[in-house]
Amino acid sequence: MEKSIITVLEEEMRLRNYSQKTIKAYRQVIIDLFRKTGKAPRDLDREEIRSYLLKKEESGLSSQTISLSMNAINFVFTQLYKQKDFQKFRHPKKSKKLPVVLSREEILEMIDVVKNKKHQLMLALGYSAGLRISEVVNLQVQDIDCGSLSIVIRQGKGKKDRVSVLSSKLVSDLYKYTFEKNARSIVFESERGGKLATATIGKVFQLALKKAGIKKPATFHSLRHSFATHLLENGTDVRYVQALLGHSNIRTTQIYTQVTNPALKNIKSPF
């Protein structure tokens, strides 16, 4: 495969301020496309690309993963090859699964069974501020304002900064935990220093879930889902929840209103 296409792809995406995560994902798609077809993207016709994407769908990959592949391929042909007549591949419909939400009691139980203070704080902060796992990894001491009970999430998804809430219950523990760190230090450093891997935090969550005896198919992101759902249950306006989560579109936030619908919860089964 011509090495230049990967190099040009990475350079162009960096110039456009794409995140490292997205650059890496697009790069992997184009490499995989070459491995599966044996051709550079420029030498593929539409039917060959369509066949590649269909095999992905048949293998059971999520609509989000297939959409990512389409985005990468569309980017290469329209932005790098400048093919004005290229017909973009359309995204598959996203599955309409409801988010996995943990109850307040389940979250407290999970935090309680974790004995490592750093791990406890990661889970508690992830839930209480509605943070993505990558945002927990990148959080710096200077981003936490105990006085105003707020957290600044810098360059979150979509390269956007936002402000979320800090629970007063965590102020004392966070102060003790970060007291000797400087302002630019990572809050939850690895044992060797530097950032934790997201996979490490994911394992901490899964272990806590297992120890607490919770059978729901939850992930660390379920803490963020739970944060949004519990705020709505408390009567918080959906637009405030949208701002706290950093959603660009209100429709993304409104999925949680389906989980919190009080009218449905008050209906009793006739059985």
DSSP string over 230-268 = HHHHTT--HHHHHHHHT-SSHHHHHHHHHHS-HHHHTPP
* Tokens 């889902």 found at: 225
Closest of 235, 238, 233 to residue 260, by C-alpha = 233
27 as an active site residue: the answer is: no
Token pair recorded at residue 153: 């999430």
3 as an active site residue: the answer is: no
Residue 204 to residues 121, 124, 143, 163, 223: CA-CA distances in angstroms? 11, 12, 23, 25, 13
From 132, 162, 225, 230, active-site residue: 132
**In sequence order, what are the residues at sequence separation of 6 or more whose Cβ sits closer than 8 angstroms to the Cβ of residue 3?**
none
* Tokens 């990661």 found at: 122
119 as an active site residue: the answer is: no
From 56, 162, 224, 225, active-site residue: 224
From 27, 154, 157, 195, active-site residue: 157
247 as an active site residue: the answer is: yes
Separation of CA 193 from chain center: 23
256 as an active site residue: the answer is: yes
From 27, 91, 195, 221, active-site residue: 221
14 as an active site residue: the answer is: no
Q: Which residues are tagged catalytic? A: 132, 157, 221, 224, 247, 256
